[in-house]
Amino acid sequence: MIKPINFAGLSNIMTQKNLKSSTAKNGLAKKRNTGMKKFRWLSFLMKLFALGAISLALLFISVYLGIFGRIPSVEELNLVKTPLATEVFSADGRLLGRYYVENRSDVKYEEISPNVINALVATEDSRFYEHRGIDEVALMRVFIKSILMMDRQSGGGSTLSQQIAKNLYPRPDLGIFTLPVSKIREGIIAYRLEKIYSKEEILTMYLNTVPFGENIFGIEVASERFFSKGPGELTVPEAAVLVGILKANQLFNPRIHPDRSLERRNVVIDRMVANGYLEESEAEKYKQAPLGLNYRLITYNQGPAPYLLEHLRPELTAWCRSNVKPDGELYNLYTDGLKIITTIDYNLQSYANQSVSEHMKKLQGVFDEHWKGREPWGKDQAVVERAMRRTERYTAAKAAGMSEEEIRAEFEAPVDATLFTWDGLKAEKTTPLDSVKHYLKLLKAGFMAMEANSGQVKAWVGGIDFRFFKYDYVKAPRQVGSTFKPVVYLAALEEGLSPFDYYSNEKKVYHDYQDWSPTNSNGEYGGYYTMKAALSRSINTVSVDVLMRTGVRNVIRTACDLGMTSELPEYPSLALGAATVSLQEMVKTYAAIVNGGAPVEPHILMRIEDRNGTVLHEFTEPVADGSRIDPGNTKLVIEMLRGVVEEGTARSIRSVYQVSGDFAGKTGTTQDHADGWFIGFTPTLVAGCWVGADDPAIHFRTITYGQGAYMALPVVGGFYQRLNNDRKFAYMRLQEFERPDSLVMNELYAMEPWVEQIRPSFDLREIFGIRKGQDKQEDETLRQRGETSPKDDKEPVWEKIRKIFKKK
């Protein structure tokens, strides 16, 4: 039986076949479309890559041709010189300070510790010895990590040579083109550098130019700043600290951020292990070590001798302006890397700094306590007004056309300020006027030490802190007080006054000089003193009496013979130091006395060398002028000044400071205790100190604290005490002054220093033929006429003494 055809089912089957066929066609179409899209994208990327490559090539060519700025040639790179600081050294070769635009100093490869080299290569350029200026592997790593993986910690990929290029030739500001143009430019320069210099030279150049923050450049300055040692002495941990700074100068500065610096140091040590420069066991030991900073700031403003550097600056600048380099250009004090060798002794400079700081901190505390609850200027507001008008703020306001009322308002408006105190810098909100008052109360000091016979300056401290107080008190004219008295007594001996006479301690009125009358600091009068006793005890009445007998002009002439150039007043008060003379000039004067009356100019500069050590200029050492003073008289004055130390106002040199060996000196105090002085000397070294406030109106109220023995002597005493304890200067304790004739010495020490009345006795001057001043002046007149004085045939006084006491 034939089954009927199921047209409905057949229809369904046909429909399904058609659907499958349609789906297959659609699938093929989709595949074709997807393939076309991929092709288009691939084509787009290829075109983009090609465009990028062409653009990069064009950019490279543009940079190479100098369109974005000229690229230094091989010849220029072969002569590359970085601006170097001029360095000032002590006579024993230690750094005192620098003049610079950039605080930079060069070292040689062999002067750098291998620890620094290894730490640097391991951290900054691990394939340094394998590439030729551009590390393609590092660049690919940076491209993949930075561009494709968006990893910002992947590093910059720059080699040391590229970083040198960046340091030598700063990147120009080209907007969005700055980075690509700079990278290409640095790559080209790096490639050229590698063609010219060896790997050792590249490393040296890098370490001499790289910045370490705090405005210092190069490994030498960095190692001095953070560890107080040369780059050749750096240990592995120290080298790792300095190399760690390079990643971010401020962030990893060990002084500011010690914890971050320690962490970064350990990362550097790990990099040294990873690159085979350290064993794991060594690294662990180094990572446990502390930072070990020994921070020492040596700049223009700070260091062992900032006042000295400022004192030398004009002379050195003048030398540079009158001397030409081999290339025909004038020398530049700030960029040519000159080496200045001075006469300064580094140890003595350090002792001077320590003595000034130690005593002035203590003295300031006494002064503040002395005036506690009161202002030192009392009701005299003119003192504050004068100080205000000397400030830069006032000068600038005046130059800007501000009225006095506006300036006053500005000085009374609170501002943020950093003030100097002996307990450290103090940041606070205060008015500029209060700052002026704060600084007015600070006592200042100047100190100088000089070899007597050569004039070589061995130490120079111009103030208490150069950062805040630029004025140099070594050169400041101040009243000298009793430190001038040795000149008076020397002039008296020169004019024929006898050291064996007694001089009255009576209080006199000098009617020809506006009824002026000298007073003694102890308020005691009466009796008679020998010259030696009067000088050692600083008896003012006797000093003035001696000056008047000698003649003021004769005293001034003697001062000039000793090398003094300051103007001296023709008044009796000259005997008490009314003249204003600088510490430098007073030290020079005492040196002349030590030299038998022959003055010698203080000098500091010995020679100038270029950056390679070639001597450019040798300074001629000044020769002492011939003495116009009898050396026998200078011996007598020195013997009197020994008495000041042994039994007079400077006794504490022995009792407190335990200074041994031959020593002499003189204290000085001016009116109202405004200035304190002490100048002390051995047979070869003269050292002096002045102490006081900027304004003489500010001072101690009593002689107890205001005398030179309290204000200034401790600085000189502390200086010589440190010198005595230094084996290097042990020879000074064995030196002796040349004494006067033994018979004269016996007579001097046989005399009572003070007597109530003078016993009738023979006149030593007449017996020994010691001529009076007027006789000496008559002889000088005869000599000028070409005539001979019959007194010239007389035997020397000391020979006559010898004959009188000679045994028969």
Inter-residue contact 647 to 558 (CB < 8 Å): no
Q: What is the pLDDT of residue 49?
A: 74
Domain boundaries, the chain: 40-70, 101-299, 443-744, 762-805
- Domain 101-299, CATH number (from 2.40.30.10, 1.10.3810.10, 3.10.180.10, 3.90.1570.10): 1.10.3810.10
Tens digit of pLDDT for each residue in 501-557?
999 999 999 999 999 999 998 899 999 999 999 999 999 999 999 999 999 999 999
Q: What is the pLDDT of residue 168?
A: 76
What's the CA gap between 184 and 56, in Å, rounded? 10
Is residue 479 pLDDT above 80, yes or no? yes
CB-count exposure of residue 235 (10 Å: 0-12, 13-18, 19+): middle
Q: What is the pLDDT of residue 105?
A: 83
Q: What is the pLDDT of residue 9?
A: 56
The CA R_g of the chain, rounded to the nearest whole Å, is 40
AA identity, residue 451: E
Tens digit of pLDDT for each residue in 276-300?
999 999 999 999 999 999 988 776 6
Whether the domain at 101-299 and the domain at 443-744 fall into the same CATH topology: no
Nearest to 266 by CA among 405, 368, 168, 119: 119
Split at pLDDT 50, 70, 90, the class of 713 is: very high
What's the CA gap between 544 and 546, in Å, rounded? 5
Inter-residue contact 331 to 323 (CB < 8 Å): yes
What's the CA gap between 189 and 73, in Å, rounded? 8
Rounded percentage of the chain residues whose pLDDT exceeds 90? 66
**Secondary structure string (H, E, C) spanning 175-186:** HHHHHHHHHHHH
Average pLDDT (19-47) is 64
Is residue 357 pLDDT above 60, yes or no? yes
- Please identify, in words, the CATH class of the domain defined by 443-744: alpha beta
Supply the pTM of this predicted model.
0.79
Q: Within 13 Å, how many C-alpha atoms sit on residue 689's CB side?
A: 32
Q: What is the pLDDT of residue 50?
A: 77
What's the CA gap between 760 and 749, in Å, rounded? 20
Inter-residue contact 513 to 572 (CB < 8 Å): yes
Q: What is the pLDDT of residue 12?
A: 57
Lowest mean pLDDT among 257-261, 718-722, 797-801: 797-801
Inter-residue contact 194 to 133 (CB < 8 Å): yes
- Helix, strand, coil % over all residues of the chain, rounded to 5: 50, 10, 40
Is residue 236 pLDDT above 80, yes or no? yes
Q: What is the DSSP letter of 42?
A: H
Look at 121 and 60; give whichever has higher pLDDT: 121
Q: What is the pLDDT of residue 808?
A: 40
Helices (H), 521-680: 531-536, 540-550, 552-561, 583-594, 631-647, 652-655
Split at pLDDT 50, 70, 90, the class of 785 is: very low
Per this entry, what is the length of the chain?
808
